[in-house]
């Protein structure tokens, strides 16, 4: 297994030092997300101050941008990182697309499929000089003159990973993506009964090989004797469990009622009451608990050979438990 980490909400000024430290400690990849900061900007200083560390967005919201804008940004990041950048895309939910980004909403799976195809069509035009002629239901891209075309890459175009929870997005990953970013709100039961079968169905539909999609897992972790960490994990699980589109994860365990209660509390803005609905049984299903030195065995027990790349649902902070991160990276490499 390879260890990956998240940049979290670190400022742009801190990125270079964080990326250098992650590489020095043996981490394989550093991800950014689209919450408080732009997900793409940090990868410029990160790429310029590292040589081996892979870099990616987990995730950038596709429907907040046009395919051309994302294609160009990813193209430039592939160039500056010498092929180490991974384009991770997500759909977000309707309320955020419409009310946070002010963009139109439509059925996410067919639109994301077309979005990925459009991005790859642009990359093909830039790499080969062939005429751009992409015509879909959502995007029509037919104009790309030499003046607006970036030079060809001397590395492969970025792999495209997508994220999701429900079976339709999992099938799309099998059909079209290079990787699938498992939502941290998952269980092994849900992976075995919903996620993996759907990805395999997509692979079969597209005639792709079984190992064509890289699975990346991010997991909640509660160190022993750390009530603050446990409270934070319970609050995060409660937040995700309150999202109706993630209700299937709870349903796999017969916990739909808890999801409905959490959704009602979230609708009333009663966030402080929500963590109490996450029972110890739920915590044990959705989070790992144990000493740091036990983590390699805990991760192997949960995922087996299902995933090759794993990370913890916490930001990587240089200077905080550096030797622990180093030992974890080394131990996982032996798993």
Check pLDDT > 90 for residue 320: no
Using one digit for the tens of pLDDT, what is the confidence trace for 16-62?
999 999 999 999 999 999 999 999 999 999 999 999 999 999 999 99
Using one digit for the tens of pLDDT, what is the confidence trace for 202-211?
999 999 999 9
CA-to-CA dists, residue 256 to 103, 203, 243, 252, 275, angstroms: 31, 30, 11, 9, 16
CB 90 within 8 A of CB 164: yes
- Taken in order of first residue, the domains within the chain and their CATH numbers are 2-227+290-333 (3.20.20.30), 228-289 (no CATH)
Q: What is the pLDDT of residue 335?
A: 74
Residues forming a β-bridge with 163: 181
Task: Give the pTM.
Answer: 0.96
Check pLDDT > 80 for residue 334: yes
Using one digit for the tens of pLDDT, what is the confidence trace for 183-209?
999 999 999 999 999 999 999 999 999
Q: What is the pLDDT of residue 156?
A: 97
Q: Collapse the DSSP code of 219 into the 3-class scheme (helix H, G, I; strand E, B; otherwise coil) and give the result.
A: strand
Using one digit for the tens of pLDDT, what is the confidence trace for 153-181?
999 999 999 999 999 999 999 999 999 99
- Sequence-separated contacts (24+) of 229-232 with Cβ below 8 Å: 230/283, 231/275
Sign (positive or negative) of CA dihedral 240, 243, 248, 250? positive
CB 287 within 8 A of CB 237: yes
Sign (positive or negative) of CA dihedral 153, 13, 56, 58? negative
Check pLDDT > 80 for residue 262: yes
Report the distance separating Cα 164 and Cα 168, nearest Å.
Answer: 9
CB 49 within 8 A of CB 19: yes
- By residue count, the chain amounts to 335
Give exposure, 207-243, as e/b (b: 16+ Cβ within 10 Å): eeeeebbbbbbbbbbbbeeeeebbebbbebbbbbbbb
What Rg, from alpha-carbon coordinates, does the chain have? 20
SS3 letters across 305-328: CCCCEEEEEEECCCCCCHHHHHHH
């Amino acid at each position: 297994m390879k260890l990956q980490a998240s940049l979290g909400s670190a400022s742009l000024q801190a990125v270079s030092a964080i990326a250098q430290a992650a590489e020095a400690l043996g981490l394989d990849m550093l991800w950014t997300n689209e919450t408080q900061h732009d997900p793409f900007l940090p990868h410029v200083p990160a790429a310029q101050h590292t040589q081996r560390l892979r870099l990616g967005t987990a995730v950038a919201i596709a429907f907040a941008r046009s395919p051309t804008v994302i294609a160009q940004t990813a193209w430039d990041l592939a160039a500056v990182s010498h092929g180490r950048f991974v384009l991770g895309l997500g759909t977000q939910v309707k309320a955020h697309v419409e009310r946070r980004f002010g963009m139109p909403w439509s059925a996410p799976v067919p639109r994301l499929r077309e979005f990925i195809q459009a991005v790859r069509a642009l990359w093909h035009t830039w790499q080969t000089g062939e005429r751009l002629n992409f015509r879909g239901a959502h995007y029509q891209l037919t104009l790309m003159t030499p003046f607006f075309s970036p030079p060809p890459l001397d590395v492969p175009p970025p792999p495209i990973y997508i994220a999701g929870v429900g079976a339709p997005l999992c099938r799309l990953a099998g059909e079209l993506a290079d990787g699938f970013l498992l939502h941290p709100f998952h269980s092994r039961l849900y992976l075995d009964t919903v996620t993996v079968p759907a990805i395999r169905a997509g692979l079969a539909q597209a005639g792709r090989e079984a190992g064509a999609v890289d699975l990346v897992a991010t997991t909640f972790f509660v160190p022993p004797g750390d009530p603050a960490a446990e409270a934070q994990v319970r609050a995060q699980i409660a937040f995700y469990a309150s999202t109706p589109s993630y209700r299937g994860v709870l349903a796999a365990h017969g916990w739909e009622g808890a999801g409905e209660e959490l959704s009602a509390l979230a609708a009333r803005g009663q966030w402080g009451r929500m963590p109490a609905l996450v029972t110890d049984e739920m915590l044990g299903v959705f989070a790992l608990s144990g000493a740091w030195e036990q983590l390699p065995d805990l991760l192997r027990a949960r995922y087996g050979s299902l995933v090759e790349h794993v990370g913890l649902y916490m930001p990587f902070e240089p200077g905080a438990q550096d030797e622990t991160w180093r030992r974890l990276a080394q131990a996982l490499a032996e798993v």
